[in-house]
């Protein structure tokens, strides 16, 4: 299933994603003059910070809407699926924040990343890890199953354990220096869980019959309300991130 993105919607309901990317950006530690590939760059907010550090950056993302927003920030950004990287020995580093868990062809992507890096180049990324949005996924799946659509949530994301992803990285020739799970309960903006579902489960909702979409969102929100909303009606998503630093 393809997740659909709208850059304006993402900026309204998902701006917390790049805001939480400062730690993984520090782990990348971009240097002036380096060539860096930002994989699944989204709207380019973090890409812009890498550029401002003096690196030469190319951003790629499968979403034309996101790439248009990145280009508006003055970034060399190209529409390209993560599985289809055609670079060879070009980059000192490949960086990714909150994008790799959307990639269905993980092995094709990792092969392309390794090929794109210069010998000894680093691969620094953060993605959803095992247990990420567990409550949200269970609630949404339960609602979808009422309408015989449960399979839609089953294939939405890939959230690996550190051990599983370490093995996957090593199988593609990477030496893993760091890989860890980071629990990160994440306050949501004013749009709350409804805004989250309409942004980060757009692909699931678009695959459901039109007449059911608003009902699915409403029922999922109400199922989650006792778990993820506080007494003031403020929402916190149950995020868990997987962060790693590997070397080609």
pLDDT exceeds 90 at position 153: no
CATH number at residue 61: 3.40.50.150
Determine the Cα–Cα distance for residues 98 and 196; give it in Å rounded to an integer. 15
Q: Is residue 113 part of a domain?
A: yes
Specify the pLDDT at position 15: 65
Specify the pLDDT at position 213: 96
Q: Are 12 and 191 in contact (CB under 8 A)?
A: yes
Q: Is residue 41 part of a domain?
A: yes
Determine the Cα–Cα distance for residues 148 and 178; give it in Å rounded to an integer. 41
Q: Indicate yes or no: pTM above 0.95.
A: no
pLDDT exceeds 80 at position 9: no
Q: How confident is the model at residue 7 (pLDDT cuts 50, 70, 90)?
A: low
Q: Is residue 86 part of a domain?
A: yes
**Stretch 30-38: mean pLDDT, rounded?**
98
Q: Is residue 98 part of a domain?
A: yes
**Stretch 61-71: mean pLDDT, rounded?**
93
Q: How confident is the model at residue 151 (pLDDT cuts 50, 70, 90)?
A: confident
pLDDT in tens, 99-149: 999 999 999 999 999 999 999 999 999 999 999 999 999 999 999 999 999
Range of the domain at 68: 7-133+157-187+237-247
Residue 72: left if φ>0, alpha if ψ -120 to 50, beta else—which one?
Answer: alpha
pLDDT exceeds 60 at position 1: no
Q: Catalogue the long-range contacts made by 146-150 (C-beta closer than 8 Å, 24 or more residues apart).
A: 146/219, 147/208, 147/209, 147/212, 147/216, 149/207, 149/208, 149/212, 149/216
Determine the Cα–Cα distance for residues 8 and 14; give it in Å rounded to an integer. 10
Determine the Cα–Cα distance for residues 188 and 75; give it in Å rounded to an integer. 28
Q: Is residue 80 part of a domain?
A: yes
Residue 226 burial by Cβ neighbours in a 10 Å radius (0-12, 13-18, 19+): exposed
Specify the pLDDT at position 13: 63
Residue 51: left if φ>0, alpha if ψ -120 to 50, beta else—which one?
Answer: alpha
Q: Is residue 46 part of a domain?
A: yes
pLDDT exceeds 70 at position 11: no
Determine the Cα–Cα distance for residues 43 and 99; give it in Å rounded to an integer. 12
Nearest residue to 100 (alpha-carbon basis) of 241, 248, 5? 241
Specify the pLDDT at position 119: 97
Look at the chain and report how many structural domains it folds into.
1
Determine the Cα–Cα distance for residues 190 and 193; give it in Å rounded to an integer. 9
**Stretch 165-176: mean pLDDT, rounded?**
98
Q: Is residue 94 part of a domain?
A: yes
pLDDT exceeds 90 at position 6: no
Determine the Cα–Cα distance for residues 205 and 203; give it in Å rounded to an integer. 5
Q: Is residue 210 part of a domain?
A: no
Round the average pLDDT of the chain to a whole number and report it. 93
């Amino acid at each position: 299933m393809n997740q659909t993105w709208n850059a304006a919607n993402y900026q309204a309901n998902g701006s917390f994603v790049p805001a939480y990317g400062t730690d993984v950006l520090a782990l990348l530690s971009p240097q002036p003059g380096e060539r860096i590939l930002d994989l699944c760059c989204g709207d380019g907010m973090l890409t812009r910070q890498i550029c401002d550090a003096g690196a030469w950056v190319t951003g790629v993302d499968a979403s034309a809407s996101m790439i248009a927003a990145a280009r508006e920030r003055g970034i060399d950004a190209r529409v390209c699926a993560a599985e289809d990287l055609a670079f060879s020995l070009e980059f000192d580093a490949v960086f990714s924040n909150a994008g790799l868990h959307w990639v269905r062809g993980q092995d094709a992507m990792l092969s392309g990343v390794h090929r794109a890096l210069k010998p000894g180049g680093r691969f620094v990324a953060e993605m959803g890890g095992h247990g990420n949005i567990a409550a949200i996924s269970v609630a949404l799946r339960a609602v979808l199953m009422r309408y015989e659509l449960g399979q839609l949530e089953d294939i939405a994301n890939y959230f690996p354990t550190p051990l599983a992803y370490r093995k996957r990285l090593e199988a593609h020739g990477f030496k893993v220096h760091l890989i860890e799970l980071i629990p990160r309960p994440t306050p949501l903006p004013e749009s709350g869980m409804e805004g989250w579902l309409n942004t980060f489960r757009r692909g699931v909702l678009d695959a459901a019959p039109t007449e059911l979409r608003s009902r699915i969102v409403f029922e999922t929100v109400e199922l989650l309300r006792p778990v993820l909303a506080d007494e003031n009606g403020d929402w916190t998503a149950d995020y868990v991130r997987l962060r790693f630093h590997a070397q080609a």
